[in-house]
Amino acid sequence: MFYSPLRYPGGKGKLTPFIEMLIEAYGHKGGTYIEPFAGGAGVAIELLERDIVSRIVINDLDKGIYSFWRAILNETDRFIDAIIQAPLDMTEWHKQHEICLTQNQKYSFELGFATFLISAPLRFWSARLYRSPRSF
């Protein structure tokens, strides 16, 4: 099953079976998968989860996407705390959207978190709304 922490339009997740076939055909099973245009990293995550590759390297030119992956991997506890503390309302959504629009030239934890909140799949919001007395 294909999962990504981000809702990423135009995602490459449907290409996973084809990429898996190429990896196996060229004898690279168990190797490293390098994804220079990670986006939601659906292919990389799926290949890693299914033990097709043993390691992934992801990157993205988009500073929001890059910041998301760097923050979630290197500041995991802070990221989890930010998710727990984030209010679920339109004021917060607009605040995070503004960060995505104005602070998108270099890495920052704030940009990574804002990118996640703006791009988060519906299942994230649904789970949070179900557990929260606040309304969106």
Do 103 and 120 lie in one domain? The reply is yes
Residues 38, 8: Cα–Cα separation, whole Å: 10
Quickly list DSSP for 6-51.
S--TT-SGGGHHHHHHHHHHTT-TTSEEEETT-TT-HHHHHHHHTT
At residue 134 the predicted structure's pLDDT band, cuts being 50, 70 and 90, is very low
Segment 20-38 mean pLDDT: 96
**Domains held by the chain: number:** 2
What is the model's pTM? 0.81
Phi/psi-derived region of residue 27, left when phi > 0, alpha when psi is between -120 and 50, beta in every other case = left
- Quick: pLDDT tens for 94-132: 999 999 999 999 999 999 999 999 887 555 655 555 554
Q: Are residues 80 and 36 in the same domain?
A: no
Residue 5 lies in a domain: no
- 72 and 106 within one domain: yes
Task: For residue range 42-80, list pLDDT tens digits in order.
Answer: 899 999 999 999 999 999 999 999 999 999 999 999 999
Classify residue 28: in a domain, yes or no.
Answer: yes
- Model confidence at 1, pLDDT cuts 50, 70, 90, reads low
Host domain of residue 26: 13-58
Altogether, the residues listed in the chain come to a count of: 136
Are the CB atoms for 3 and 42 separated by under 8 Å?
yes
Instruction: Tell whether the model's pLDDT for residue 12 goes beyond 70.
Output: yes
Measure the CA–CA gap between 73 and 59, rounded to whole angstroms. Answer: 12
Per-residue confidence band for 88, with pLDDT thresholds at 50, 70 and 90: confident
Q: For residue 2, name the pLDDT band (cuts at 50, 70, 90).
A: low
